[in-house]
């Protein structure tokens, strides 16, 4: 069963995972803030990426060359020299085809037009069903009459009310032409009839006001600003639309100043900005978001093997964090989907409630060949060739003339906000039989609160024992996340509160603790309670959090 996005968003707001940015001013479209639990959850995901991609890449496995994988980090600026974006192709090519409405000025992404229409056509469908009891039939005249009279009062801003003829014709034509399209409006076509279509002609309406839309034109996705006091064309700068380019432009510095040798990776994580035309689906498509990208540089002959290595590891990694089962797929791009320079791209995709039964991209793993280094060498004039002293011609004196080449690059590019969203959607569980009918089954590694300590009642010395256990656990586990102490409300309500936060374990100090030194350990997912010696709680938690 598909989970309700509204319920997930309500829980995220109620428990302080995600807030609308600038909410007290009415919010700002495409921007989201993380509250106390969300900020820690996102940090835990970022840390997991950093640990498993930089500090101990691929969990310490050997790569296809039989040697341990080596990666180093960089942290590069959000604002780079504008030529970086010229070289990368973002300045010329990073644009979506847009259609502007001449009526209300609304912009619609040309390639998402029918998806946008489908959102309100669903509503229209419900409306059409509603006519039946009154008239016993559906026909165009009934819908038009509704739009002109009742519709003007109850929903004046709907396209079907403002411009019913254009809107109805467009929908009907769409359905006629593509019976498999997701718009389930067969009745509408049936009752519109060809005469009506011919009379009014086909014009695609603006989803907001229904006026005929203009032709598609490119719309730049990069945010623009000025660097320095003069706001002139020479001072224009851009906020980075990806973290990857910061890596390519520092490739030479990294190889010149460290001992890394090919094959090796450079990781970069941080904020990226895209002035998305239609930010939507909560944090899924935002205008400010965080990426965690690795560029893995290797010899061209080994690049296919490294591509397969990273593609498979990245899929395994997301699974290890709890996104397992049929909600997660690895989708290899078809040849005609690939950029001209790419020899292969795969996406790790998750079935979000708003994409179901389809999937949405979490991470792309791309074989980028030597495209980026070639572009930056050409535009900057810098020599970016790598001198590989492990390869090349053996000289008569037994020495070696290194092989010079531009390395190929494999790029696993993950989105941390989409990652957090997928984890929250996957973790969200409804069970009406529990005292906490909604809870989050977050992986212990990612859970923002690792454990909670409760004195059963605030008397008989229980709070003192609880405080001591809390202090011990907090001192031991503070690096991984919070350990909370809670003595307010009934024990059931305290469990429910922790379940909603995704806290995997709760330990309760009760009457027996005072006599036999054991505590109740409650497991979030099963709700089962077992008894544990109080001096074993630290070891138990360490094992569960994977740091015994
Ligand atoms: N350097 C390659 C690159 O940037 P991408 O597929 O455009 O590739 C990588 O972005 C990841 O960044 C995506 O898989 C997605 O998780 C995340 N991402 C991209 N645009 C986003 C947006 N508008 N909002 C949230 N996350 C986004």
Q: Which residue has the higher pLDDT, 102 or 275?
A: 275
Q: Is ligand 1 within 6 A of the CB of residue 422?
A: no
pLDDT, tens digit (0-9, with 9 covering 90-100), for 455-510: 999 888 999 999 999 999 999 998 888 899 999 989 999 999 999 999 999 999 99
Is the separation of the CB atoms in 298 and 306 below 8 Å?
Answer: yes
Q: If you average pLDDT over every residue of the chain, what do you get?
A: 87
Q: Is ligand 1 within 6 A of the CB of residue 295?
A: no
Q: Which residue has the higher pLDDT, 205 or 382?
A: 382
Q: Which residue has the higher pLDDT, 144 or 465?
A: 465
pTM (global) more than 0.75: yes
Mutate to test the pocket of ligand 1, among 239, 291, 296, 422 (most ligand atoms within 8 A of CB): 291
Q: Is ligand 1 within 6 A of the CB of residue 289?
A: yes
Q: What is the pLDDT of residue 210?
A: 67
Confidence of residue 132 (pLDDT cuts 50, 70, 90): very low
Residue 221 to residue 3: CA distance in whole angstroms: 32
Non-local (6+) Cβ contacts of 354 within 8 A are: 5, 281, 282, 284, 360
Spatial CA neighbour of 420 closest among 37, 56, 51, 21: 37
Q: Is ligand 1 within 6 A of the CB of residue 413?
A: yes
Centroid of ligand 1 to alpha carbon of 243 (angstroms): 10
Q: Is ligand 1 within 6 A of the CB of residue 222?
A: no
Q: What is the pLDDT of residue 138?
A: 44
Centroid of ligand 1 to alpha carbon of 291 (angstroms): 7
Span 30-59, mean pLDDT? 97
Mutate to test the pocket of ligand 1, among 246, 282, 352, 415 (most ligand atoms within 8 A of CB): 415
Q: Is ligand 1 within 6 A of the CB of residue 363?
A: yes
pLDDT, tens digit (0-9, with 9 covering 90-100), for 426-462: 999 999 988 889 999 999 999 999 999 999 998 889 9
**Taking 50 as the threshold, does the pLDDT of residue 181 lie above it?**
no
Q: What 3-state DSSP class applies to 102?
A: coil
* Residues β-bridged to residue 519: 532
**Taking 60 as the threshold, does the pLDDT of residue 177 lie above it?**
no
Residue 145 to residue 224: CA distance in whole angstroms: 47
Confidence of residue 136 (pLDDT cuts 50, 70, 90): very low
Q: How far is residue 253 from each of residues 87, 91, 199, 377, 389, measured CA to CA in Å?
A: 18, 25, 67, 14, 18
For the record, the structure tokens of 194 come out as 């060809």
Half-sphere exposure of 376 (CA within 13 A, CB side): 23
Centroid of ligand 1 to alpha carbon of 409 (angstroms): 18
Residue 235 to residue 282: CA distance in whole angstroms: 34
pLDDT, tens digit (0-9, with 9 covering 90-100), for 385-394: 999 999 988 8
Q: What is the pLDDT of residue 120?
A: 55
Q: Is ligand 1 within 6 A of the CB of residue 63?
A: no
Q: Which residue has the higher pLDDT, 489 or 372?
A: 372
Count of helix runs (H) and strand runs (E) in the chain: 19, 23
**N-to-C CA span, the chain:** 37
Q: Is ligand 1 within 6 A of the CB of residue 276?
A: yes
> Relative to the CA of 361, which ligand 1 atom is closest?
14
Spatial CA neighbour of 389 closest among 398, 399, 402: 402
Spatial CA neighbour of 187 closest among 135, 133, 124, 134: 124
Phi, psi dihedral angles at 47 (to 5 degrees) = -65, -40
Q: What is the pLDDT of residue 140?
A: 60
Q: Where in the chain is the domain with CATH 3.30.930.10?
A: 5-93+226-394+415-426
Please provide the CATH number assigned to the domain covering 437-544. Answer: 3.40.50.800
Residue 512 to residue 509: CA distance in whole angstroms: 8
> Relative to the CA of 279, which ligand 1 atom is closest?
23
Q: Where in the chain is the domain with CATH 3.40.50.800?
A: 437-544
344: enclosing H helix or E strand: strand 344-350
pLDDT, tens digit (0-9, with 9 covering 90-100), for 279-293: 889 999 999 999 999
Confidence of residue 183 (pLDDT cuts 50, 70, 90): very low
Spatial CA neighbour of 471 closest among 381, 526, 537: 537
Q: Which residue has the higher pLDDT, 174 or 320?
A: 320
Residue 241 to residue 91: CA distance in whole angstroms: 10
Q: Is ligand 1 within 6 A of the CB of residue 462?
A: no
Please provide the CATH number assigned to the domain covering 5-93+226-394+415-426. Answer: 3.30.930.10
Is the separation of the CB atoms in 343 and 447 below 8 Å?
Answer: no
**Taking 60 as the threshold, does the pLDDT of residue 193 lie above it?**
no
Q: How far is CA 84 from the centre of its chain?
A: 25
Helix spans in 201-325 (H):
244-249, 251-257, 303-320
Confidence of residue 215 (pLDDT cuts 50, 70, 90): confident
């Amino acid at each position: 069963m598909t989970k309700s996005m509204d319920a997930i968003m309500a829980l995220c707001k109620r428990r302080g995972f995600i807030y609308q940015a600038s909410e007290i001013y009415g919010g700002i479209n495409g921007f989201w803030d993380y509250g106390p639990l969300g900020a820690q959850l996102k940090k835990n995901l970022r840390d997991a990426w950093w640990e498993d991609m930089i500090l101990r890449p691929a969990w310490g496995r050997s790569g296809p060359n039989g040697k341990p994988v080596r990666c180093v980090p960089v942290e590069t600026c959000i604002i780079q020299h504008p030529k970086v974006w010229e070289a990368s192709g973002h300045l010329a090519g990073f644009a979506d085809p847009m259609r502007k409405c001449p009526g209300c000025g609304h912009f619609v992404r040309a390639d998402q037009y029918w998806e946008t229409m489908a959102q309100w056509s669903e509503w229209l469908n419900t409306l059409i069903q509603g006519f039946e009891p009154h008239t016993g039939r559906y026909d165009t005249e009934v819908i038009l009459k509704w739009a002109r009279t009742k519709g003007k009062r109850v929903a004046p801003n709907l396209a079907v009310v403002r411009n019913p003829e254009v809107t109805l014709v467009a929908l009907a034509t769409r359905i006629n032409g593509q019976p498999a399209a997701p718009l389930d409006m067969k009745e509408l076509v049936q009752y519109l009839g060809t005469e009506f279509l011919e009379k009014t002609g086909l014009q695609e309406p603006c989803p907001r006001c229904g006026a005929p839309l203009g032709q598609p034109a490119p719309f730049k996705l990069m945010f623009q600003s000025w660097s320095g006091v003069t706001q002139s064309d020479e001072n224009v700068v851009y906020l980075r639309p990806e973290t990857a380019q910061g890596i390519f432009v520092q490739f030479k510095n990294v190889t010149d100043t460290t001992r890394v040798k090919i094959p090796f990776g450079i990781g970069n994580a941080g904020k990226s900005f895209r002035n998305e035309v239609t930010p939507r689906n909560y944090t899924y498509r935002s205008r400010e978001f965080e990426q965690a990208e690795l560029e893995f540089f290797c010899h061209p002959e080994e690049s296919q093997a490294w591509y397969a290595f990273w593609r498979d590891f990245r899929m395994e990694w997301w699974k290890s964090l709890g996104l397992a089962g049929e909600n997660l797929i690895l989708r290899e791009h078809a040849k005609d989907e690939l950029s001209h320079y790419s020899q292969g791209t795969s996406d790790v995709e998750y079935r979000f409630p708003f994409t179901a039964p389809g999937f949405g991209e979490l991470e792309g793993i791309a074989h980028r060949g030597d495209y980026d280094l070639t572009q930056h060498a050409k535009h900057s004039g810098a020599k970016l060739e790598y001198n590989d002293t492990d390869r090349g011609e053996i000289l008569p004196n037994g020495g070696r003339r290194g092989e010079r080449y531009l390395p190929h690059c494999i790029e696993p590019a993950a989105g941390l906000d989409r990652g957090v969203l997928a984890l929250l959607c996957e973790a969200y569980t409804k069970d009406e039989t529990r005292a906490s009918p909604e809870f989050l089954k977050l992986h212990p590694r990612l859970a923002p609160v690792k454990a909670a300590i409760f004195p059963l009642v605030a008397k008989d010395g229980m709070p003192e024992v609880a405080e001591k256990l809390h202090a011990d656990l907090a001192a031991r586990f503070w690096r991984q996340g919070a350990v909370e102490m809670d003595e307010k409300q009934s024990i059931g309500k305290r469990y429910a509160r922790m379940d909603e936060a995704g806290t995997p374990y709760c330990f309760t100090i009760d009457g027996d603790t005072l006599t036999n030194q054991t505590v109740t350990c409650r497991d979030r997912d099963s709700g089962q309670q077992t008894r544990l010696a109080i001096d074993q709680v630290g070891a138990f938690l360490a094992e569960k959090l994977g740091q015994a």
